[in-house]
Structure 1
Amino acid sequence: MNSVARLVLRRLAIGIALLLVVSLLVFFAVELLPGDIAQALLGQSATPEAISTLREQMHLDQPAWLRYVHWLGGFVVGDLGKSLANGQDIAETVWQRLGNTIFLAAFTASISVPIALGLGILTATWRGSVFDRLANSFVLAAISTPEFFLAYILIGVLSVKMGLFPSISNINDGLPFWERLYRTVLPAITLTLVVTAHMMRMTRASIINILSTPYIEMAQLKGLRRSVIIVRHALSNSWVPIINVVVLNLAYLITGVVIVEVAFVYPGLGLLLVDSVSKRDVPVVQSCCMIFAATYMLLNLLADILSILANPRAQERG
């Protein structure tokens, strides 16, 4: 068995164990919430008979460990149950919302990754220049600003004052592709401002680190232009940390978009999670948390695999 296959199996085993731990935390954290869920759903005017009936429907009359086993077994086979708020199938709702979140993440990545890599290469090429200082100052200011604040600034400027984009990203499956992109521009710009800094600074640091190696000095002694040295020699040997930071930021774009989705009322998985918490829709909250955790772990596994493939020496050690 080669190193990549061993890595995948080892990481999958670790990921499954971690998901089991996450499932325990998610399920029993909900159990520790104060109050009776059935009472909260039915309201203070509910009769004891109605509360008892709902508790039986929700299996709240069973021991917690038994309900956990049933819930985890259903999650493994894709049966997430029914929403307590509207009675709809949770799996159908969750996958639709996850598709919207992935669409936003892919749109943001198509903007942020080229910009980050380009800025990282340029700032490494002109290290110490005015451009380098300005670019670093801008991305640090962007990453230091809270996401909701960036979102409301963009809404106020680009939507309210200039009228270029809608302030609410109300998309649905029936919209044409370009209309979906148009309505998703503002949340995509917000997320781009947040994630570009990490990728740009890692690209810059990796290239600058490679530039101090002997073979780069030999290329400089041969009279090669600095731009050629960076693109052909330094960048090709800097992919491992760059790939890691890019994939981890993609994981953030899927699992960390709750604030942005709420600000723009974007119908993604993050907004569904917030709405379900406010409605005490426990099965939906649990399903969203587990999907976020599974997605983050799978993307971490992807980062490990790509790093090994990009580094033959690491592949030999695998």
Structure 2
Amino acid sequence: MNGVLPLIGKRLLLGLGTLLVVSIIIFGAVELLPGDVAQEILGQSATEETVAELRRQLGLDQPAYIRYFQWLGNALQGDFGTSLANKRSVAEQLGPRFLNTLFLAGMAALISVPLAIGLGVLAALMRNSIYDRVANALSLVSISSPEFFLGYILIVFMAVQNPWFPAIANVTPEMDLGTRIYRSTLPALTMALVVTAYMMRMTRAAIINLLASPYIEMARLKGVPNRRVILRHALPNALAPIINVVALNLAYLVTGVVLVEVVFVYQGVGQLLVDSVSKRDFPVVQASCLVFAATFILFNLIADVGAILSNPRLRHPK
């Protein structure tokens, strides 16, 4: 355990450093956008004095580096400022939306993770069979298809031609759990289709790679059945790469939902981000991007820690 803690500490420091760099990129990208925010809010008919006063109220008259440190310090305390569009607190708008996004990602994970691992193990058991070839072909099609395209296909077949689920996943806080799950099914299936295919292929590859190991060959020479070889010997040793892939795909489920939420008009952070970009509501845009970045980095840290704990070779490098 003494060797694990320093490795985890290094990963945490690296994650914090990465988040700091990303925050600089987010703030700098917004600063480089053309146009004057104060002028955009007041319109072209506003006088120079009015624009200058609004710039002073928004702090735009200060140097960029001062505004960055003020924004970062407030963000670390949970204060992302005030929305320029509706004058509401950004944190109040972002909180419920982020919970909705986590709920959608959780639904997709519950569908995709066990399904992907099961299909990957089965494909390794039936390597080079018809099932294996068909599964690989379908997974390639799923990976190659954009999320919005898969979403529209599901809408056509499962909402228009067969009205099983609603095409618009409008969820509200007062909905009960059953209704929320029902309305979120199509966007969750859309996201699950992509990550299931990727995780299935990685699980299959990890197990097949281990099947060529000497201890697997020894188990087979002893007459151990093939299924037991995979389930008792290969799968436990394939946990490290599988955990890594699952954690990275969970990060994608949270941060890659922008297009899916727009297609299904789902009230999550992705939809809020797109709406805020169209309104030039920069405080909300910066906060949404920072939340996405922090979530992705967090899941990457979880993947690294999971790989370290499940693989002794990473704890004792040569």
The bucket for the TM-score relative to the shorter chain is over 0.9
Tell me by how many angstroms 1:7 deviates: 2.0
Render the CA deviation track for 1:62-85: whole Å, top value 9, x for unaligned.
111111111111011111111111
Identity of aligned residues (%): 58
Tell me by how many angstroms 1:4 deviates: 2.6
> Aligned-residue CA RMSD in angstroms?
1.3
What is the distance in 1 between the residues matched to 2:191 and 2:115? 13
The code of the aligned residue for 1:199 comes to M
The code of the aligned residue for 2:93 comes to T
Render the CA deviation track for 1:155-210: whole Å, top value 9, x for unaligned.
11100110000011111211111111110100011011111121111110111111
The code of the aligned residue for 2:217 comes to E
What is the distance in 1 between the residues matched to 2:22 and 2:207? 37
Render the CA deviation track for 1:225-258: whole Å, top value 9, x for unaligned.
2111111111011011111011000000011111
Provide the residue aligned with 1:144 in structure 2.
Answer: 144
Tell me by how many angstroms 1:41 deviates: 1.8
What is the distance in 1 between the residues matched to 2:141 and 2:225? 32
Render the CA deviation track for 1:21-44: whole Å, top value 9, x for unaligned.
111111121111111111112222
Provide the residue aligned with 2:165 in structure 1.
Answer: 165
Q: Is the 8 A contact 1:3 1:317 kept in 2?
A: no
The code of the aligned residue for 2:31 comes to E
After superposing on structure 2, the runs of 4+ consecutive aligned residues of structure 1 that deviate more than 6 Å are none
If the length of structure 2 is used for normalisation, what is the TM-score? 0.97
Q: How does 1:143-292 map to 2 (within 5 A)?
A: 143-292=143-292
Larger deviation, residues 52-61 vs 176-185: 52-61
Tell me by how many angstroms 1:113 deviates: 0.5
Tell me by how many angstroms 1:57 deviates: 1.6
The code of the aligned residue for 1:105 comes to A
The code of the aligned residue for 1:289 comes to C
Query: Is 1:67 paired with 2:67?
Result: yes
The code of the aligned residue for 1:118 comes to G
The code of the aligned residue for 2:72 comes to L
If the length of structure 1 is used for normalisation, what is the TM-score? 0.97
Provide the residue aligned with 1:76 in structure 2.
Answer: 76
Tell me by how many angstroms 1:20 deviates: 1.5
What is the distance in 2 between the residues matched to 1:52 and 1:160? 52
What is the distance in 1 between the residues matched to 2:41 and 2:135? 51
What is the distance in 1 between the residues matched to 2:59 and 2:163? 51
What is the distance in 2 between the residues matched to 1:254 and 1:98? 9
Alignment length (residue pairs):
318
Provide the residue aligned with 1:134 in structure 2.
Answer: 134
Provide the residue aligned with 1:97 in structure 2.
Answer: 97
The code of the aligned residue for 1:100 comes to N
Gaps of 5+ in 2: none
What is the distance in 1 between the residues matched to 2:4 and 2:181? 36
